[in-house]
Copies of this chain bind each other. A is one copy, B any other.
Amino acid sequence: MEIGDQIKARRSTLGITQSDLADRSGVSKAMICDVEAGKKNPTIRLLGQIAAGLDCSISALIDADETPRFVPERRDQQRVLVDPENGMERRLLSSALIRRGIEVIQYTYPPGADCGGFPPHHRGTYETAIVIKGQVRMEIGSESITLNEGDAATYAADVVHSAYNLGDSEAVVVYVVDSTRASHPARPAQRDPQAE
């Protein structure tokens, strides 16, 4: 979906005309028309004005994607990975949001398992870890913290980070990985400079 189409789509859902948008954004009517038609290559400043007029972010206009509106993810249909070494289980809970740069993953750590560490993600990646069950020790770069059931933590994941099950029963942790602003974005984020 092209950026002009995105503007046009948002404008029509708001039920406003090009003239209205011109007034609200302070951008000339002619410019609105040309940008929607893909005839002009707007500056970032102008795009910011248009986005403001549309009550949305510039990113929303740039990163247009067609995420399906409803995606059930039954437990028995989830993508599961089990480490044969230590029995650690990894479940992907949100495949639909991956293209938007967000992952939701559930880890189940067997009791006493040494689950190794994760290599650093790209710069700008953040994670939220939520301990659903058990007690885990997390090492994030130089930080180190013990989380009990119900605890959570959010951290920059661009360093080596790891979790260890401290308890004598299995531990369950849900991770929300936000790479929406990371280097080497997961999703195809660049729009091609259209030829003139």
Contact = CB atoms under 8 A, between A and B. Distances in A.
Interface of A: 3, 10, 13, 41-49, 51-52, 54-60, 62-63, 65, 67, 69-75, 78, 93-97, 100-102, 104, 106, 123-124, 126, 128, 130, 132, 140, 143, 145, 147-156, 174, 176, 178, 180-185, 187, 189-194
A106 B124 CA distance: 25
A48 B102 CA distance: 21
Interface of A is mostly: mixed
B153 A70 contact: yes
Nearest to A101: B180
Contacts of A145: 72
A182 B81 CA distance: 32
A123 B14 CA distance: 10
Given A58-B190, A123-B13, A180-B59, A75 B174 contact: no
A71 B55 CA distance: 30
Copy number in the complex reads: 2
Contacts of A60: 124, 181-183, 185
Given A13-B123, A45-B194, A176 B94 contact: yes
A164 to B, nearest CB: 16
